[in-house]
Amino acid sequence: MQTLTLANIYELQGLKEEALEIYMEILKRDPSNVDASIAVRRLSGMRKKFRGLNREMKDFFVQMEDNVEFNEFERWLLKIWN
C-alpha cells in the first residue's frame, strides 16, 4: 500500500522520484491531503514565487539523512508557504 510513511522513507533514502510517485498517487485518492500536496510541490520543483529563495535550504534538502532533518525542512517550508 502506498502511504505517506512509505513515501517519507523513500525520500529519506534519496529515492525522490519514487517518493514523488507515491505522493502523487495519494493526491489522486485524496486531493485534500495537505502533506502529500506539500511533498509534491517540494519534489517536483513547483516553487512559484519561491524560485531561488534559499539555496542553503535546497542543499540541506538534497543532503537530508534522517527524519529530524526532514521535519526541520518541512517546518521551514510551511513557514514560507503561509
Q: Is the pLDDT of residue 26 over 70?
A: yes
d(C-alpha 79, C-alpha 1), whole Å: 30
| pLDDT tens figures, 56-66 | 777 777 788 88
d(C-alpha 72, C-alpha 76), whole Å: 6
Q: Is the pLDDT of residue 82 over 70?
A: no
Domain definitions of the chain by residue range = 4-81
Where do runs of H (alpha helix) occur along the chain?
A: 4-12, 16-29, 34-44, 55-62, 67-81
Contact 19, 39 (CB under 8 A): yes
Mean pLDDT calculated for residue range 39-63 = 71
